[in-house]
Amino acid sequence: MDPLTEEEVLTSFKGEREDDVPLPDLTNIPWDDLDYLGWVHPSGHLGYVVIVSPDDGGIKGTILRRGRFDGSKPGLEMCSLCHHVHRPNGTAMFTITHKNAERRHSIGNIVCKDLDCSLRIRNLVQPASYLNETLYPEAKIWRMQMALHRWLRTANRL
């Protein structure tokens, strides 16, 4: 994705209830390897996702609740966005509230706990996925973007 400025990132969260969005160091971001900008609050309870909307090209920020994913049994966990297969504790449950206040429900997904799907698809983070997929990186990227867009669109956040 194209590099974003601090102002662009902050503006993308306008209208959200949480007004203190702790920005990551944007000078250290590998923008060329990212499909979305994602980071986690130091407290671990919130996550942040910024994408360029495929609908209108606008920069859209979404705040996500981050909870522990307690799978019913210990074992492998798969990110629902990038399909990276983690050993236990590699994923977290992220939930987004619907933007329309009258429909105040949230929509959750199991996602890489550090919101670093883009780097995992490109094999830039260790350890590699437990399950080796014979898909081209381009296909993985496309699949991940589709899943992310579907999620955000369902919550009326694209």
Residues lying near Zn ion in the complex (CB under 5 A): 79, 81-82, 84, 112, 117
Q: Which is nearer to Zn ion, 8 or 24 (CB)?
A: 24
Q: Which is nearer to Zn ion, 4 or 112 (CB)?
A: 112
Considering the complex, what minimum distance in angstroms separates the CB of residue 5 from Zn ion?
26
Considering the complex, what minimum distance in angstroms separates the CB of residue 124 from Zn ion?
13
Q: Which is nearer to Zn ion, 9 or 82 (CB)?
A: 82
Q: Which is nearer to Zn ion, 6 or 124 (CB)?
A: 124
Question: Radius of gyration (Cα) for the chain, nearest Å?
Answer: 15
Place of tokens 């662009």: 8
d(CA 92, CA 88): 10
44: left (phi over 0), alpha (psi -120 to 50) or beta: left
Considering the complex, what minimum distance in angstroms separates the CB of residue 10 from Zn ion?
25
Select from 52, 72, 74 the least CA-distant residue to 61: 52
Assigned token pair, 85: 């297969």
The CA-to-CA distance between both ends of the chain, in Å, stands at 16
Considering the complex, what minimum distance in angstroms separates the CB of residue 84 from Zn ion?
5
Tell me how crowded residue 5 is: count the other CB atoms within 10 A of its CB.
10
